[in-house]
A and B are shown apart, each in its own frame.
Chain A
C-alpha cells in the first residue's frame, strides 16, 4: 500500500511538474526561442533584472491575489455558514445558483460586464467624468470570481461538521459570534484555508478579467504577458517563473523541515 501510494503520488507530480521543468530548462536557453535550445546561458536571468516593470507587475499581482483572496475568504466563509443555516430553501438555492455565475461565465463575459458596470456606476451614480479603473475595481472583480470557490470549499466541511455542536455551545450560554470562533471555525478551518489557497491561485493567474477592469496605474503580470502578441514570449519570462517556483518550493520544504523539527522536539519533551 505504501509503495503504491508513493508511486502514484510520484507519477502524478511528475506529470504536473513536467511543463514546469521544461520552463526551467528553456530559461537557460542561449537563443531567443522558447521551443528550440541553442545552448546554455544565464543571459535571460541578467536580462530579467533590467526589466523592473516585470517585478513591479509581479508585486502588484501578489498584492492583489493576497488581498482579494483574504477578502473573498472572509466573505465566503461567512456566507457558507449563513447558507448552511438558512431555513428558506428557495433563498438558499437561489443564492447558491447566483454564487456560481462568475464561475461558469467565460472570463471575458464577466470581465466586460463588470467593466460596463463600473463605467455605469462611476458616470451615472457617482457623476465622475473620468473612470478610474485600478486596484479597487480589480479587487472587486477578483473577489467576485473567487467567492464561489471559497464557498464551495467551506461547504463540505460544514456538512461534515456535527450540526449540534454550535447549538450545544449556545445552549451552554456561549454567544453566537463566540461559538462561531470557538466551535465552528476550528472545525471548518481546513476548508477555509484551502478556499483561500484556491482564491489566491485563481487571482494570481487571471488575465482576461484584469485586462478589462484594471487601469494603467496598476498592471498585473498575467496581463502584461497576455499582451505580448506582437512578438513571442522570450525566455526572460521563463526565468522569472523559474525563480518564483524555486522560491516557493524552497519555502515549502523549509517550513516542512521546521515543523518536523518541532514535532521531534515535542515528542522528545513528552518522553
Chain B
C-alpha cells in the first residue's frame, strides 16, 4: 500500500512542480498588476472599476454557454456515430475532424469571412443580402467551428471502449435506439462530456480573435477587452484585474459543474 501511494504521488509530482513554476509564478505577475497602479503603488481601484465591464462579462459568458451547448448537440452524435463506424475507419474519421484545425486560425477566419461576409460567397451564390459577419450569431458560429473537435475527441475516447454488451442488454430489455442513447450511453459517457464542456467553455470565454473578426468589432468580449488592455503596457493593470476576476468566475462555475457531474460519475459508473 505504501509503495502505491508513493508511486501515485510521484506520478503527479512533475506536473505539480511544473504548475508552480510556470502557472503560479506568472500568475503572481498578473496579481501584482491587478493590485497596483501604473506607478507600482498598491490600489484596489482596478478591481473597483470592474462593474463598468459587467455587460461584457455577461455577454461573454452567455455566448460561450450557447456555443458549448451547440457543441454538445453537434459533437455528441458525431462522436457516437464515429464510435459505431467500422473500427478500421474510426481513426480516419476522427483525424479528419481535426485536420481543419491544423490550418492557421487567422487564415481559417479570413476564409470564413469570405464565405459569410456581406459581399461573400453565400450572399453571392444565393443572391441574398444577409448580414452575418458582425452579429453575435457569427461569433457563436466561429466558436463552435473552432472548438467542436475538443468536444468530439473526449466523448469519442470514452465511447470507443464502452462495453457494447451493455447496449445490447438494454435493447434486449426493450429499449429503442433513442432510449438506449438517453438511458445508457449518455450516463456512461458523462465524464467525457464534462471534459469536453471544460475544453470548449473555458477557452471560448477568453477567446479574442474570433470575436474581433467575425463579430465585426461592433462589440467586445472579455478576451478582446483584456487583449486591448494588455496591448499597451500602460494599461496592464485593469486588464490584469479583469482576467483575475474572470478566472475566479470560471473556477467557481467549473466547481459547480464538477460537483454534479461527480455525483453520478461515482455512483453510476459500471464497475
User: Contacts of B12 on A, CB cut-off 8 Å?
Assistant: 78-79, 81-83, 86, 95
A47 within 8 A of B: no
A177 within 8 A of B: yes
Number of A residues near B (Cβ < 8 Å) is: 99
Residue among B89, B92, B153 making CB contact with A198, cutoff 8 Å: B153
Known: A82-B11, A149-B150. A226 touches B106 (CB 8 A): yes
Bound together, the chains give a CA A159 to CA B102 distance in angstroms of 30
Number of B residues near A (Cβ < 8 Å) is: 101
Q: Judging by beta carbons under 8 Å apart, are B254 and A100 in contact?
A: yes
Q: Judging by beta carbons under 8 Å apart, are A144 and B23 in contact?
A: yes
Q: Judging by beta carbons under 8 Å apart, are A160 and B81 in contact?
A: no
Give the residues from 7 to 29 in chain B that come closer than 8 angstroms, CB to CB, to chain A.
7-16, 18-19, 22-27, 29
Q: Judging by beta carbons under 8 Å apart, are A248 and B160 in contact?
A: no
A113 within 8 A of B: yes
Q: What 1/0 mask marks residues of chain A from 66 to 101 whose CB sits below 8 Å from any chain B CB? A: 000000000110110111011100000101011111
Known: A112-B230, A156-B191, A160-B161. A103 touches B22 (CB 8 A): no
B69 within 8 A of A: no
CB distance from B50 to the nearest CB of A (A): 16
User: Contacts of B84 on A, CB cut-off 8 Å?
Assistant: 5
B130 within 8 A of A: no
CB distance from B23 to the nearest CB of A (A): 5
Q: Judging by beta carbons under 8 Å apart, are A79 and B11 in contact?
A: yes
Known: A82-B10, A198-B150, A225-B106. A252 touches B92 (CB 8 A): yes
Q: What 1/0 mask marks residues of chain B from 59 to 101 whose CB sits below 8 Å from any chain A CB? A: 0000000000000001001100110110011011111111111
Residue among B85, B95, B195, B206 making CB contact with A104, cutoff 8 Å: B206
Q: Judging by beta carbons under 8 Å apart, are B154 and A117 in contact?
A: no
Q: Judging by beta carbons under 8 Å apart, are A106 and B206 in contact?
A: yes
Bound together, the chains give a CA A180 to CA B206 distance in angstroms of 36
Residue among A16, A23, A79, A109 making CB contact with B107, cutoff 8 Å: A23
CB distance from A244 to the nearest CB of B (A): 7
User: Contacts of A100 on B, CB cut-off 8 Å?
Assistant: 198, 202, 250-251, 254
B38 within 8 A of A: no
A28 within 8 A of B: no
B204's nearest neighbour on chain A, judged by CB, is: A104
Known: A9-B81, A157-B158. A113 touches B107 (CB 8 A): no
User: Contacts of B158 on A, CB cut-off 8 Å?
Assistant: 156-157, 160
User: Contacts of B97 on A, CB cut-off 8 Å?
Assistant: 12-13, 16
B24's nearest neighbour on chain A, judged by CB, is: A98
Give the residues from 127 to 174 in chain A that come closer than 8 angstroms, CB to CB, to chain B.
140-141, 143-144, 147, 149, 151-153, 155-157, 159-160, 162, 164, 167, 170
User: Contacts of B114 on A, CB cut-off 8 Å?
Assistant: 22, 26, 34-35
B265 within 8 A of A: yes
User: Contacts of B149 on A, CB cut-off 8 Å?
Assistant: 198, 201
B182 within 8 A of A: no
User: Contacts of A39 on B, CB cut-off 8 Å?
Assistant: none
User: Contacts of A9 on B, CB cut-off 8 Å?
Assistant: 78, 81-82, 85, 93
Bound together, the chains give a CA A248 to CA B101 distance in angstroms of 12
Known: A8-B81, A252-B92. A190 touches B103 (CB 8 A): no
A221's nearest neighbour on chain B, judged by CB, is: B104
CB distance from A184 to the nearest CB of B (A): 10
Residue among B99, B195, B202, B206 making CB contact with A155, cutoff 8 Å: B195
B219 within 8 A of A: no
Bound together, the chains give a CA A147 to CA B22 distance in angstroms of 11
CB distance from B264 to the nearest CB of A (A): 11
Known: A98-B23, A149-B199, A190-B161. A22 touches B115 (CB 8 A): yes
User: Contacts of A155 on B, CB cut-off 8 Å?
Assistant: 191, 195
Stretch of B41-49, B131-139, B240-248 at the chain-chain interface: B240-248
Taking A101-B27, A153-B195, A225-B104 as known contacts, 5 extra A-B pairs with beta carbons closer than 8 A to each other, sorted by chain A number, are A22-B111, A153-B157, A156-B192, A194-B157, A207-B105
What are some 17 contacts across the A-B interface (CB < 8 A)?
Answer: A5-B81, A20-B108, A79-B15, A95-B19, A105-B30, A108-B226, A109-B230, A112-B230, A117-B25, A147-B15, A164-B271, A187-B161, A194-B153, A198-B153, A204-B102, A233-B110, A241-B107
Q: Which residues of A approach B to under 8 Å, CB–CB?
A: 1, 5, 8-9, 12-13, 15-20, 22-23, 26, 34-35, 75-76, 78-79, 81-83, 85-87, 93, 95, 97-110, 112-114, 116-117, 140-141, 143-144, 147, 149, 151-153, 155-157, 159-160, 162, 164, 167, 170, 175-177, 180, 187, 190-191, 194, 197-198, 201, 204-205, 207, 221-222, 225-226, 233, 237-238, 241, 244-245, 248-249, 252-253, 255-256, 259-260, 263
Pairs A-B, 6 closest by C-beta atoms: A82-B12, A79-B15, A82-B11, A113-B26, A85-B8, A156-B191
